Structure 1
Amino acid sequence: MTNFKMFTATLAVLASGTLAASACEMTLRSSDTHPDGYPTVEAVKYMGEQLSAATGDKLCVEVFHSAQLGEEKDTIEQTQFGVIDLNRVSLGPFNNIIEETKIPSLPYIFRSTEHMHNVMDGPVGEEILAAFEAHDLIGLAFYDGGSRSFYNSQKPINSMDDLAGLKFRVMQSDLFVDMVDALGANATPMPYGEVYSSIQTGAIDGAENNWPSFESSGHYEVAGYYTLDQHLIVPEVLVMSKLTWDKLSADDQAAVKAAAKASVPVMRDMWAAREAASEEKVRAAGVEIITDIDKTPFIEAMVPVYQKYVTTDKLKDLVTRIQATE
């Protein structure tokens, strides 16, 4: 779809949804690829409630879930142009745009979810959020994206050797492509919404994602093997169009940031519950879960990926500080 047609289609969807929030002076239109009820969607709704209360209904948020406004790569550009006001996106699609986002997207950079929280809630996280402004976006907060693992329709993956020759969908990020290639598999970048049919038809063998995405997308229906190699713990990010941001008063800007930060613990609680529920559903469906896997060869295979992407003193410093964070 051309940019003009894409923007026109988005504007049509946005126009159809503005009546419900017409009581507000300004309705911020937020995009998410995930379905209604998903933790990120509900967290942005919660942010909207907090923002409305803080501003006396001056500012409201309307969430367009289920990729109504497009897939993540397309909505990033629309947010930069101010067509979309708020956007919840994984850091992966930003890797080719904002170099600082490559670091939290590196395989095995985080030792655990708790480690990721400590890093992204601290100075490193604030520094990465600040880097968005130079790209016509305002970084507001980080959400959880879970630990990502490989799933496929062909066979159990018990070691790196089992990955050889398999075709996996990855996010549209060069870093993710290189990660899969370094493991001996074949990477196929494609939008999230095309994965189910592509596995079903054999265009790809599988993909990699977290428990809730694997379950809510229905991918577990066509990919019966899920290996918990947990190669990525990539945060999600909530951003705002700088064009929209610049229209707000300083007080309203502060209210937006405060509401976004307040939504983070709410999202994390919902995420933990959703992970457990998704895992239970996937296991009940008969998917074979491979948990006994030696991650050491996977981690060692990432050396050339780090060498390729951690090239400047600034990025090397970010890696060092993340590794030093307790």
Structure 2
Amino acid sequence: MTATRRALIAAALAAPAAGCVQEIGERPLRGADAHPAGYPTVEAVDHFGRLISERTDGRLRLRNYAGGQLGEEKDTLEITVFGGLDINRVNLAPLNPIEPLTLVPSLPFLFRSTDHMRRALDGAPGRTVLNALERHGLIGLAFYDSGERSFYNTRRPIRTPADMRGLKLRVQTSDLYVALVQALGGSPIPMSYGEVFQGLVQGVVDGAENNWPSYQDSRHFEVARYYSLTRHVMAPEVLVASARTWAKLTPPDRDVIRAAATESVPVMRGLWEARERTARQAVVEAGVEVVEDLDRAAFETAMRPVWDRFVTSDAQRTLVEQIRGMG
């Protein structure tokens, strides 16, 4: 644990459980984002910070620690619950073990398109997931995009689940992602993101899965030349506040923060869409074979045992049906 992280946790534990608004105003709100400066989520959180500063005449302001300065997302979530961080942008994955409802937007082949995903998360299903975080010491503010994840590999195009048989595919350290690849006939290999390029070069793995910008930024496209648009997962990022911080804010200041978070969403999405376009263009120009003619129905059918395993409560099943029932 770094000195900065230790200091933030120590400060949080030393602070009273409730305080006054002036206590917050005497220092900047502290935020964290694991992505580097300039990344769409970081830009959106910075925009959020500018809005709350403008609307409170500088009384509330944000200092955002980007680039993973405070550790991995599971670490910064812990700090946020303690109150050492006030604002945090994380992926849903580290929240899955904490709140079962966050598993639902992570389900493979749940969303038919990015538009479907956005309408669901901007609407009642999204509010249900955000509200569920409060019992864990977090206030859910908004969802950001994390892109459409697709499979890529060094050996062949993937058009049906049968094409995945025998492929060693890197996955995140997640039971859900392991089950996803196994159900499609591949061999999941949990591996840190930084090891994937060398793993592809050496044949330790045949492929992996990710969105367009990550596929390009990581240079994986230089080795894994088949990119199949399975769009199997569209799990979002989420912007949260510490419930300890929230308890110290007046209702008008809470309204300012909620409104600023909502208004930061289209900013993030616009930046993300632009980044996706440039990444796709660069990859296509590099000669990668992009596979779009897939048998999506076959992939969806293969997911039934995965859904049965991870959707176990009535609340989860209700949420799934709400999302699937959206036109």
Indicate the TM-score class for this superposition, using the shorter chain for normalisation: 0.7 to 0.9
Distance in 2, matches of 1:246 and 1:56, equals: 21
Q: Counterpart of 2:5? A: 10
SS in 1 for 2:189: strand
Q: Counterpart of 2:237? A: 236
Q: Counterpart of 1:316? A: 317
Q: CA deviation at 1:145?
A: 1.5
**Structure 1: runs of 5+ lacking an equivalent:** 1-5, 15-23
**Structure 2: runs of 5+ lacking an equivalent:** 10-24
Q: Contact conserved, 2:8 with 2:79, CA < 8 A, in 1? A: no
Q: Contact conserved, 2:8 with 2:85, CA < 8 A, in 1? A: no
Question: For each residue in 1:287-312, what CA deviation from the matched residue of structure 2 results, as whole angstroms up to 9, or x when unmatched?
Answer: 22222221121111000011112222
Deviates more, 1:108-117 or 1:210-219: 210-219
Distance in 2, matches of 1:93 and 1:196, equals: 24
Query: What is the letter of the counterpart of residue 60 of structure 2?
Result: L
Q: Taking every aligned residue pair, what percent have the same amino acid on both sides?
A: 50
Q: CA deviation at 1:225?
A: 2.2
Distance in 1, matches of 2:115 and 2:93, equals: 20
> How many positions carry a matched residue from both structures?
312
Distance in 1, matches of 2:216 and 2:93, equals: 20
Q: Contact conserved, 1:13 with 1:68, CA < 8 A, in 2? A: no
Q: CA deviation at 1:197?
A: 4.2
Q: Contact conserved, 1:96 with 1:173, CA < 8 A, in 2? A: no
Compared CA separation, residues 71 and 156, structure 1 to 2 (3 A): farther
Q: Runs ≥4 in structure 1, deviation > 6 angstroms?
A: none
Q: Counterpart of 2:326? A: 325
Q: CA deviation at 1:8?
A: 3.2
**Superposition pairs of residues 40-51 of structure 1, within 5 angstroms:** 40-51=41-52
Q: CA deviation at 1:190?
A: 4.2
**Superposition pairs of residues 1-326 of structure 1, within 5 angstroms:** 6=1, 8=3, 10-11=5-6, 25-326=26-327
Compared CA separation, residues 73 and 168, structure 1 to 2 (3 A): farther
Query: What is the letter of the counterpart of residue 92 of structure 1?
Result: A
TM-score (norm 1): 0.87
Compared CA separation, residues 222 and 63, structure 1 to 2 (3 A): farther
Compared CA separation, residues 53 and 109, structure 1 to 2 (3 A): same
Compared CA separation, residues 284 and 69, structure 1 to 2 (3 A): farther
TM-score (norm 2): 0.87
Q: Counterpart of 1:3? A: none
Q: CA deviation at 1:275?
A: 1.1
Distance in 1, matches of 2:152 and 2:75, equals: 26
Q: Contact conserved, 1:93 with 1:171, CA < 8 A, in 2? A: no
Distance in 2, matches of 1:10 and 1:249, equals: 27
Q: Contact conserved, 1:32 with 1:63, CA < 8 A, in 2? A: yes
